Chains A and B, each alone.
Chain A
């Protein structure tokens, strides 16, 4: 079956390749050269990128960054100048060789074309909630991932960088959409192809345009995959005009700012703490801590030792060519980012060629191919205590030496047990340097299409898409290092090899018919698509190496059976889709769409689903009655409603799976065992989201001020959820469609041209969004779900922090006697907690629980602002993004404020309670009494672990200068300097990155119901770069 299909695709693709190879390009003889400059009518500044076209011919070019053009004209009398946002202008060619034009801003300003699902529309006619970003707006931002560039740019879209690891950690949530277990990332569609791989591997320089589809009307054509929103990415196409070659280069240095790093005790402070610990307990002070000042010059900052300044470089070469029939765009890129953590490197080599060949006026074929290779070596930086070396480094006693007397890195450190040292601390610098944790990705995306226009208005298009991916992961833990706390070194050397290979194939067949009857304009789209995905994974884990230099499989003494496995994953999707777009006089707009999806992921009873939507638009400003309102030149009301789905539940979840590795031992024999370990649910189906959106677009003062507002209301039902069930059943969970979450919010965006004077132009784009959610229902008989630190409860937003409320410490015996206590565990100086149920004692969990909601990981609002200033040849951009009202759980306090002194302490612990006379700041309690007393403060989730994480980050500042070059070879040159992650304004004290959340990085407390956990992940560096853009 699959083989047949591949053959089918191969045949089609090869036909196209053969056809292309037969193409011969002809050169035209040309007569005279016309040159000129295109300027903005208002500011007289040159406009780059204007299309200059000889009317009645195919000859055209584009203006350079200074607005200049040069064009060979054989025959033709009129030049047509067109550019997005400006009114088109025709100028007759006179006798001379120079033709200048000045363009006026299009009063409607909305002639711009926006890419939407399965097509494009003029912005004016869009009836859904769609936001569009031109790649030019984000070109100078020196980061590896496209999503990083979008931070602060999109209303209603929360983009957080949860970890600073190059190429990783971006969390993108459109309109707060979160699924409980079914994945919350939007669907990324590159050139019409919903991709399955890692979007962070895409070279951002290949991108021409990004459209973010937010409401159901815009996304419903993506059916059962659309509920989290859709990001449409269009890559660069050959543009009409002469062949151009561009080179973009930047290089820079990254570093972690001192500000925001967690303030830990230094060696002397720590020794002092330990000394006081024993004194307060009335015990003799161990000799190691009797004289803290001896550590004054022997501090070991384990966290700093893992960081470095690191270079970042990017080279991107683009070629654009467009002859009569063949247009080609090529982008080749090399990106190399060394991480700010030792031994971290991310490299990407990418290439893309998009070509389109017009065989006849109504038949064309296209062929895009984009191979890329990514190398990523990442030390195990992120993770909970015990696994993430950054987290571990914070914990390590600063009195423990990083290097020994000979300057060699120590293997591991411990102090005698009499000092209270419980754990062995391996050397984390070795862990970073010596562990190999690398992944090599090979990625290939190809699209081929054929488009035929048999009659006016009718377009038939078939596309064949292939996404081929493979990754090779290699991990090696030599005997001399480990990333885990308390593992003595030398340790057992371990290697893991994991190879994944897979392919996604998509065939789409679309017919579009556009027709106008008088002032009625119709467009009808119908299509059939099918997609099949498979991936094969092999993992081999081996251990016990006799020689660290040879981590081969044959070098291992043992193959770890538990860590060795292979798996095969497939899914398939068949869909029918249709859309009607209608407008009357361009004033009354209607779009109605429907998609029907059949998915292999759902149970036999529910394979097919239908996703309809409709949207309406009314351009009020076109109405006569509106003419009197002079200040508002454009006004459009939009409303939409639709049904969309989320099928991200993994494959085969509807089946009851048998685990056949539950082996028993009898005597000296291993006997294979098998048990059914999950429950089947043949009724399992996609999550359904019904979304209503109402929007208003306004333009003031000839569109110098544009204002966009959207309100949305979504109801997600049939939540795919692995419901916890009573384990007396023998099972832990049941995959079911349960419950309902409501999401709603307001989004505001404003784009203004503040100053538009001669040589000086200042524009501002700003947005602010208020996203809310509330759990309406969970499963029958279930009104709450507990996580370790969170609760999801009917009537409340999901994933709220849940714990006791801290109320200082018991200041003295009287305070203790008069306050509710934890029976047997409260004492003078220990943490005081609120007795919410007024039963006279503090209870954690169970039926007399005193816990309550103590904070929300969700912001009250998120916002972004971009200012752009152009002054003569200088340009300046500053981008900021912020979040207000969200809280984070400072996970490291469980250890770094462990009053037993097992780990290094946060500096703040100096001000703990020591006696009624010396009560400290009332935040941290007494060390006296050991775990029975200190354990409450440390182990019971309480409000001390929560801190506000509102922030405003200056994401990027760029200053550019257009160099005036009079050279035949170089048409234009621009140099710029930029600072990325320039400054974070925040009062958050738990760590350097208030955007962080363990959610999304696959570690520990991840999961959508338990967001907002700060695991001291890789810090986001500040990056200083210098760049150069050249056009030839």
Chain B
């Protein structure tokens, strides 16, 4: 044992080395505390004005895919304004066809009994709206706790409130019911919320839009492209029409008119943005912003709206790009004979909105198709457009105001606003004088003035005219499929025009993730 002890002493230096090296690492707690160096974390974000600016900017971003890819499917093709030009050489687009054919696969939730659908457009629209809501909730939860310039703060807060209100307004109009999230989701169990009623959602939109209207700057002082107090008031006015709160609608819409911030553009075709100019013009109340180029902020709208197959030679005159490509697959959002017939004689809006093209490779006997011209603006590169999407135009403010007044049984006061819109289109004053006639005149005017701006389905629902309008429209298609761009022998599916609910089913994929529906 003595021997052992001596050796142990000799070992001491070695042991010391080992302990020393152990101490280097273990002694330093930071050795195990590694934070990401190329990304910010929630611990380091929302600390200053710049963080909130960036967060508000990001909250606008989901609007680009919403309006480029979804709104026109759910808001326009799901109406009598547009349809799909069936290309029987191509099959794989039934999600869009189902929407246009009022034949979406529906089922009932086993939890709540509410209607569900597996349609991908519905799912994506829903998710994108909640992306806006989650981003704005994060901003609104933190912004009051951070001290910075008051004017900047109210402008940022106003934008966040507007965007949240806008997203909920979309949800309530598409679905009639939806989960209501107003706080930041922190973990898995908080992810799903109970469904809120239509009234609860309307109330939330109203509260947010009202506050936004107070906080936001007017258009003349706001950076072009951002929402303004005018945008918020228009959103509020739109909401009031749905709620049938006509006096409130009149008040808030009139504030826009009297603000002097907006004008109709001299001609209808000038109301719409070009690919790099005429954006956010005098008529624009709220536009979703796109930018042409390789950086990824572009749209591709018109490419979704053209019939197919189209050769590049046929395409080039429309887009005027340097590198046109053949278009295959199936096009969408093609004006129906119904909307074409809806324009009055000499309405300048007809030629400004719709043009025709002959497709040499079409299997239809008549190879001529109409297409939406008002968004087909010349651009540089194939598939890459930069024109903005008009969400609210001053023309709609005027028509909404006319409606709000007429619904208070003052058709004589309403016609001024209606006529402003008609006269700009080269049409004479309206001949309507009774409240009922005026209501019909405004409804018709909205259809042509706001054609292809994703308003038609909402107008039909809001005025409770699904049975009156969609049922005969479906019958016409089934009776004369060739008039609705089907090639000889091809017909809509036999379950077309069977699902005429005012609201879309909630997404089945989300139902699977929520205990509430």
Q: Which residues of A contact B (CB under 8 A)?
A: 1, 4-5, 8, 281-283, 414, 416-418, 420-424, 452, 454-455, 458, 460, 462, 486, 488, 507, 509, 511, 528, 530, 532, 543-544, 558, 560-562, 565-568, 570-572, 574, 598-600, 604, 607, 651-652, 655-660, 662-676, 679-681, 723-731, 734, 736, 779-781, 786, 823-825, 843-848, 898, 900, 902, 930-932, 934-935, 938-939
Q: How far is the CB of A163 from chain B (nearest CB, A)?
A: 28
Nearest neighbor of A5 in chain B, beta-carbon distance: B24
Q: How far is the CB of B234 from chain A (nearest CB, A)?
A: 18
Nearest neighbor of A565 in chain B, beta-carbon distance: B38
Tell me if A417 and B311 are in contact (CB < 8 A). Answer: yes
Q: Which residues in window 415-439 of B have CB below 8 A to A?
A: none
Tell me if A528 and B18 are in contact (CB < 8 A). Answer: yes
CA distance A666 to B219 in the complex (A): 13
CA distance A507 to B88 in the complex (A): 67
Tell me if A8 and B21 are in contact (CB < 8 A). Answer: yes
Q: Which residues of B contact A (CB under 8 A)?
A: 3-4, 7-8, 10-11, 14-15, 17-18, 21-22, 24-26, 28, 30-45, 51, 53-61, 88-94, 97, 103, 105, 107-110, 116-118, 126-127, 130-131, 133-135, 137-138, 178-179, 181, 185-193, 223-226, 276, 279-280, 289-291, 294-297, 308-309, 311, 325-326, 328-329, 361, 363, 489-490, 493-496, 508, 510-515
Tell me if A571 and B40 are in contact (CB < 8 A). Answer: no
11 cross-chain CB contacts under 8 A: A4-B24, A528-B18, A528-B21, A657-B36, A665-B289, A667-B223, A668-B276, A726-B513, A729-B134, A729-B181, A729-B190
CA distance A674 to B188 in the complex (A): 22
CA distance A443 to B42 in the complex (A): 36
CA distance A671 to B186 in the complex (A): 27
CB contacts (< 8 Å) of B22 on chain A: these are: 509, 528, 530
Which of B181, B296, B328 touches A417 (beta carbons < 8 Å)? Answer: B328
A-B pairs with lowest CB-CB distance, top 7: A931-B91, A730-B134, A417-B309, A666-B225, A673-B58, A673-B57, A824-B495
Tell me if B58 and A723 are in contact (CB < 8 A). Answer: no
Q: How far is the CB of B137 from chain A (nearest CB, A)?
A: 7
Query: 17 additional contacts, CB 8 Å, given A900-B89, A932-B94?
Result: A424-B326, A454-B10, A454-B11, A530-B31, A561-B295, A655-B35, A657-B41, A660-B40, A665-B297, A668-B279, A681-B187, A726-B179, A727-B131, A728-B514, A786-B512, A846-B105, A934-B91
Nearest neighbor of A734 in chain B, beta-carbon distance: B188
Nearest neighbor of B192 in chain A, beta-carbon distance: A726
Tell me if B45 and A674 are in contact (CB < 8 A). Answer: yes
Tell me if B361 and A416 are in contact (CB < 8 A). Answer: yes
Nearest neighbor of A9 in chain B, beta-carbon distance: B21
Which of A418, A567, A724, A939 touches B38 (beta carbons < 8 Å)? Answer: A567
Nearest neighbor of B277 in chain A, beta-carbon distance: A668
Which of A486, A600, A675, A786 touches B33 (beta carbons < 8 Å)? Answer: A600
Which of B133, B325, B496 touches A730 (beta carbons < 8 Å)? Answer: B133
Q: How far is the CB of B139 from chain A (nearest CB, A)?
A: 9
With A825-B493, A845-B508, A846-B508 as contacts: A670 and B45 at CB distance below 8 Å? no
Tell me if B37 and A568 are in contact (CB < 8 A). Answer: yes
Which of A458, A676, A729 touches B191 (beta carbons < 8 Å)? Answer: A729
CB contacts (< 8 Å) of B15 on chain A: these are: 460
Tell me if B135 and A675 are in contact (CB < 8 A). Answer: yes
Q: How far is the CB of B133 from chain A (nearest CB, A)?
A: 7
Tell me if B7 and A676 are in contact (CB < 8 A). Answer: no
Q: How far is the CB of A681 from chain B (nearest CB, A)?
A: 7
Nearest neighbor of A4 in chain B, beta-carbon distance: B24
Tell me if B187 and A734 are in contact (CB < 8 A). Answer: yes
Tell me if B513 and A939 are in contact (CB < 8 A). Answer: no
Tell me if B90 and A931 are in contact (CB < 8 A). Answer: yes
Q: How far is the CB of A827 from chain B (nearest CB, A)?
A: 10
Count chain B CB atoms within 10 A of each CB in A282, A673, A779, A848 and give the residue with the most.
Answer: A673
Q: How far is the CB of B197 from chain A (nearest CB, A)?
A: 16
Tell me if A417 and B361 are in contact (CB < 8 A). Answer: yes
With A665-B290, A675-B55 as contacts: A423 and B361 at CB distance below 8 Å? no
Q: How far is the CB of A898 from chain B (nearest CB, A)?
A: 8
With A509-B18, A726-B191, A825-B493 as contacts: A670 and B295 at CB distance below 8 Å? yes
Count chain A CB atoms within 10 A of each CB in B44, B60, B276 and give the residue with the most.
Answer: B60
Tell me if B279 and A543 are in contact (CB < 8 A). Answer: no
Q: How far is the CB of A514 from chain B (nearest CB, A)?
A: 15
Tell me if B138 and A572 are in contact (CB < 8 A). Answer: no
Q: How far is the CB of A705 from chain B (nearest CB, A)?
A: 47
Q: How far is the CB of A392 from chain B (nearest CB, A)?
A: 16
CA distance A420 to B295 in the complex (A): 34
With A509-B21, A509-B22, A567-B38 as contacts: A727 and B130 at CB distance below 8 Å? yes
Q: How far is the CB of B59 from chain A (nearest CB, A)?
A: 7
CB contacts (< 8 Å) of B116 on chain A: these are: 846-847
Tell me if A607 and B32 are in contact (CB < 8 A). Answer: yes
Q: How far is the CB of A601 from chain B (nearest CB, A)?
A: 8
Tell me if A724 and B11 are in contact (CB < 8 A). Answer: no
Tell me if B291 and A668 are in contact (CB < 8 A). Answer: yes
CB contacts (< 8 Å) of B91 on chain A: these are: 898, 900, 930-932, 934-935, 938
Nearest neighbor of A509 in chain B, beta-carbon distance: B18
Q: How far is the CB of A598 from chain B (nearest CB, A)?
A: 5
Nearest neighbor of A563 in chain B, beta-carbon distance: B296
CB contacts (< 8 Å) of B137 on chain A: these are: 730
Tell me if B32 and A599 are in contact (CB < 8 A). Answer: yes
Q: How far is the CB of B96 from chain A (nearest CB, A)?
A: 11
Tell me if A674 and B58 are in contact (CB < 8 A). Answer: yes
Tell me if B32 and A680 are in contact (CB < 8 A). Answer: no
Tell me if B31 and A663 are in contact (CB < 8 A). Answer: no
With A422-B90, A664-B58, A728-B514 as contacts: A736 and B21 at CB distance below 8 Å? no
Which of A423, A558, A671, A728 touches B193 (beta carbons < 8 Å)? Answer: A728
Q: How far is the CB of A517 from chain B (nearest CB, A)?
A: 14
Tell me if A674 and B34 are in contact (CB < 8 A). Answer: no
Tell me if A781 and B515 are in contact (CB < 8 A). Answer: yes
Q: How far is the CB of B7 from chain A (nearest CB, A)?
A: 4
CA distance A672 to B295 in the complex (A): 13
Tell me if A667 and B513 are in contact (CB < 8 A). Answer: no
With A422-B90, A668-B291, A726-B192 as contacts: A845 and B54 at CB distance below 8 Å? no
Count chain A CB atoms within 10 A of each CB in B4, B17, B97, B294 and give the residue with the most.
Answer: B294
Count chain A CB atoms within 10 A of each CB in B41, B186, B189 and give the residue with the most.
Answer: B41
Q: How far is the CB of B515 from chain A (nearest CB, A)?
A: 6
Tell me if A671 and B130 are in contact (CB < 8 A). Answer: no
Count chain A CB atoms within 10 A of each CB in B61, B178, B515 and give the residue with the most.
Answer: B61
Nearest neighbor of B108 in chain A, beta-carbon distance: A847
CA distance A726 to B185 in the complex (A): 11
CA distance A729 to B297 in the complex (A): 25
Tell me if B489 and A931 are in contact (CB < 8 A). Answer: no
Nearest neighbor of B130 in chain A, beta-carbon distance: A728
Tell me if B58 and A730 are in contact (CB < 8 A). Answer: no
Tell me if B89 and A422 are in contact (CB < 8 A). Answer: yes
Tell me if A530 and B25 are in contact (CB < 8 A). Answer: yes
CA distance A282 to B489 in the complex (A): 9
CA distance A823 to B42 in the complex (A): 48
CB contacts (< 8 Å) of B490 on chain A: these are: 930
Tell me if A462 and B185 are in contact (CB < 8 A). Answer: no
CA distance A502 to B3 in the complex (A): 48
Tell me if A462 and B295 are in contact (CB < 8 A). Answer: no
Tell me if B493 and A658 are in contact (CB < 8 A). Answer: no
Nearest neighbor of B15 in chain A, beta-carbon distance: A460
CA distance A669 to B423 in the complex (A): 35
CA distance A680 to B43 in the complex (A): 10
CB contacts (< 8 Å) of A421 on chain B: these are: 328
Nearest neighbor of A939 in chain B, beta-carbon distance: B92
Q: How far is the CB of A557 from chain B (nearest CB, A)?
A: 9
Which of A462, A560, A902 touches B90 (beta carbons < 8 Å)? Answer: A902
CB contacts (< 8 Å) of B54 on chain A: these are: 660, 672-674
CA distance A730 to B108 in the complex (A): 25
CB contacts (< 8 Å) of B178 on chain A: these are: 728
Tell me if B21 and A507 are in contact (CB < 8 A). Answer: yes
Tell me if A460 and B18 are in contact (CB < 8 A). Answer: yes
